Amino acid sequence: MSTKPNKSIFLADDDEDDCMLFEDALREVSTTTELLTANDGVELMNLMETTVPPPPDVIFLDLNMPRKNGFECLEQIRKTKAWEHIPVVIFSTTGQEEMVRKVHEKGANFFIRKPGSFLKLKQAIKQILDIDWTKHSWKPAPENFYCQY
């Protein structure tokens, strides 16, 4: 019997309540997934520099954070050779078309608007965890890039 290797997720979000909800939802979806959190973009970049390799399986990235926002983090991730292929899921309260278009162009793999319920949050996390990122650099077409639960 083979066991699936543990997955690793980085979450960058300055909202402590959102981080706790995300962790609770993740634990209900997958007890074997490791979660590392950063409270802002500077902390995320420090986390990346000190823990990668190995890279996380996916990074959930909020856009509106102090010190270094999600746009700046995404840009730095895509410009850093060791990180450029790490899947980045924008996880934000904003759903503005301009923001969605901008992060798609900058190389995000997916955009999920933060769900309004715990059940929908679990569905969103499960959807992302179910993607096999190793098979290809998965990035949906612009019309399928944004997901609102």
For the chain, how far is it from start to end, CA to CA, in angstroms? 35
Confidence of residue 144 (pLDDT cuts 50, 70, 90): low
Global confidence as pTM: 0.88
What's the chain's average pLDDT? Answer: 88
Q: What CATH code is carried by the domain that includes residue 59?
A: 3.40.50.2300
pLDDT of residue 49: 94
Q: Examine residue 3 and state whether it is found in any structural domain, yes or no.
A: no
Domain that holds residue 120: 8-148
Q: Examine residue 56 and state whether it is found in any structural domain, yes or no.
A: yes
Q: What is the pLDDT of residues 21-79, one digit of tens each?
A: 999 999 999 999 999 999 999 999 999 999 988 999 999 999 999 889 999 999 999 99
Q: Examine residue 16 and state whether it is found in any structural domain, yes or no.
A: yes
pLDDT of residue 138: 60
DSSP-assigned states of every residue in 54-105: SPPSEEEE-SS-SSS-HHHHHHHHHHSTTTTTS-EEEEES---HHHHHHHHH
Q: Which residues contact 35 (CB under 8 A, 6 or more apart)?
A: 9, 10, 11, 22, 23, 26
Q: Examine residue 68 and state whether it is found in any structural domain, yes or no.
A: yes
pLDDT of residue 142: 59
pLDDT of residue 3: 45
pLDDT of residue 141: 61
CA–CA separation, 18 vs 82, rounded Å? Answer: 28
Across the range 99-119, mean pLDDT stands at 90
Q: Examine residue 124 and state whether it is found in any structural domain, yes or no.
A: yes
Q: Examine residue 2 and state whether it is found in any structural domain, yes or no.
A: no
Q: Examine residue 1 and state whether it is found in any structural domain, yes or no.
A: no
- Report the domain count for the chain: 1
